[in-house]
Structure 1
Amino acid sequence: MASLSSGPRTPALPAGLAQHADVWRAAELGSHSLPALDTGYAALNQVLPGGGWPQGALVEMLQPQAGLHEWGLLAPALAAVQAAAPAKLVVLVGAPWLPFGPALGARQLNMQRMLRVHSQGPALLWATREALQCADVAAVLAWLPDARSAHLRRLQMAAQAHSQLLFVFRPLRAQLESSPAPLRLLLEGAADQEGQLRVHVLKRRGPPLAAPLLLATRPARLTALLAASRERVRRRREEAGVLPRLQPAQARVALVPGEEAHALLDRIANIPHH
């Protein structure tokens, strides 16, 4: 008499296929055959095939507004790339804003080895492909809000052919479109937790991720200095309220929050890294 099964079982693969390195079961996290770069976040490494950013594949990132979250997420990996290959460039194609040097310097990024390509329309795709083919380029970051699936497929092929790091940023509306990217993420800030980033893994070589990852993307030193800055502003406002009769010549005007943040970032960029 046949015994009853206690539950569903994963069908066994034939011996020849089971030993083949390229065979992957959809219920398992794929071990990517491409070299992987440490993301700088242990929790993120654990859910990515290969344990990091794939080198030689397109990584697509969707976010509600360009320029909000990409630097916090990618800064650790890009800093490591620059440290390993200081002569190579990180190319920014179609960046919506001019990156703020002191802020990136606080994240140990070298602005002098970044090249920004400012263009529009089809020229953005052309510039991205050209950068991927350049041996002097270590990574390419491209903001392509209007790219189609066919465009992304050509970029994926170029990244694979030249073993390049490629990150493409697109708006949230692209979530409903098909994409050839092997890795697709959705980024959103955590409104209730300052300096935190929620990362939804929309597509990977592996089973769906049930819940988003919550990553602390703000450097601890920057968090501490910003907290100290806010405390100084609070104390100045309290002193101004307690001593309302100070003469104008005796009163000290506090920097507005934006000016305070810029001043702090300038200080951080000049702090020696240990």
Structure 2
Amino acid sequence: MSASFPIFAHVWRADAVDHAVAQTVDTAYAALNAVLPGGGWPQGALVEVLQPQAGLYEWGLLAPALAAVQSAQPRQLMVLVGAPCLPFGPALGARQLNMQRMVCVHSKGPALLWATREALQCADVAAVLAWLPDARSAHLRRLQIAAHAHNKLLLVFRPLRAQAESSPAPLRLLLEGVVRDEGNLLVHVLKRRGPPLGAPLLLNTWPPRLAALLAASRERLRRQREEGAPARLPSQVALPVTSPHSPLHALLDRIAHLDHH
């Protein structure tokens, strides 16, 4: 049969992950690459990301891939449409993102959709990130068509309430923050070209320096417990968080000091 009809070899079966995606961007997370069709973020397609609050988890998840896109296409722009707050340059710079090649578009209502479509059609744009809490399925379908037509990396962020709505996005994720030694972000793959994923993925999206400091802090607490010394957690410290001598400020100061060296 395969000799008579070789085209069957290129037919995607719904019970298998579709690895015939034309072009993808490495997510920088091996576990996530392993479950995504094509092994990365699909280029020329809409990726829909749901989360409880805008601005919580998207940069940690996407920064490595976006930095790689900027490195590969240094003259191209990255457009942010409807970002919930102004991106914090030092933090994103520490994640190797070039803020000088980012364009932020602030608007409301239908103008957000218009700006997203215009950005997708621009030859000087490599990727578009759009926060569209009120977009409907028909709106997303038009954006999916535009992303495919212009082969752009498109990521759309929406609230959790959108989970019950239909979506034309080939890839749909839900993000959930956790506090564990192994990681800080659960990624639920709600939709992909392939069978459902039974369990969410646990990723560590902390910046390397912060991850190292947190690991050292956990190790210090472990040794204190083994030696019988009372371990004081940040929540047990009487100083207010706003105090310049609080543990939180000390940790942030150490991170800032490392980032300048």
TMscore range, shorter length: 0.7 to 0.9
Matched, 1:270 2:260: yes
- Aligned partner of 1:152 in structure 2 is 140
TM-score normalised per structure 1: 0.80
- 1:211-258 deviation line (CA, Å, top 9, x unaligned): 000001012212234677998xx79xx9x99xxxxxxxxxxx744466
Q: Which of these residues, 34, 37, 49, is aligned with residue 46 of structure 1?
A: 34
Give the alignment of 1:98-137 within 5 angstroms: 98-137=86-125
Q: Which runs of 5+ in 1 are unaligned?
A: 1-11, 242-252
How do residues 63-102 of structure 1 correspond to structure 2 at under 5 angstroms?
A: 63-102=51-90
Question: Is structure 2 residue 12 aligned with structure 1 residue 16?
Answer: no
1:99-135 CA deviation, whole Å, 9 max, x = no partner? 1111111111111111111110000000000111111
CA 1:28/1:155 → structure 2, altered by over 3 Å: closer, same or farther? same
SS in structure 1 of the partner of residue 107 of structure 2: coil
Q: Structure 2 CA distance, aligned partners of 1:226 and 1:255?
A: 18
8 Å CA contact 2:37–2:192 kept in 1: the answer is yes
Q: Deviations over 1:188-225 (max 9, x none)?
A: 10134585110000000000000000001012212234
Q: Which has the larger radius of gyration?
A: 1
Structure 1: distance between partners of 2:33 and 2:215: 29
SS at match of 2:179: coil
- 1:8 is matched with none
Matches of 1:125 and 1:200, distance apart in 2: 26
Could you say what secondary structure the match of 2:5 adopts?
helix
Equivalent residues, number: 246
User: What letter corresponds to residue 218 of structure 1 in structure 2?
Assistant: W
CA-based RMSD of the aligned residues comes to 2.9
Report if aligned partners of 1:93, 1:117 keep a CA contact under 8 Å in 2.
yes
Distance 1:263 1:129 in 2: 41
Q: Extract structure 1 runs of 4+ deviating beyond 3 A.
A: 12-15, 17-20, 191-195, 225-231, 253-271
**TM, length-normalised to structure 2:** 0.84
Identity %: 70
Please say if residues 102 and 268 of structure 1, whose CA atoms lie closer than 8 Å, have aligned partners that are also in contact. Answer: no
Q: AA paired with 2:99?
A: M
Q: Write the distance in 2 (CA, Å) between the matches of 1:18 and 1:124.
A: 41
Give the corresponding residue for 1:28. 16
Using a 3 Å threshold, how does the CA distance of structure 1 residues 14 and 143 change in structure 2: closer, same or farther?
farther
SS of equivalent residue, structure 1 residue 76? helix
Q: Output one character per residue of 1:38-66: Cα deviation in whole Å (capped at 9) or x when no partner.
A: 00000100000000001100000000010
Structure 2 residue runs without a partner (length 5+): 221-231
Is residue 226–residue 261 contact of structure 1 (8 Å, CA) maintained in 2?
Answer: no
For 1:98 and 1:135, the matched residues in 2 are separated by: 25
Distance in 2 between residues matched to 1:207 and 1:261, nearest whole Å: 43
> Does the residue aligned with 1:188 lie in a helix, a strand or coil?
strand
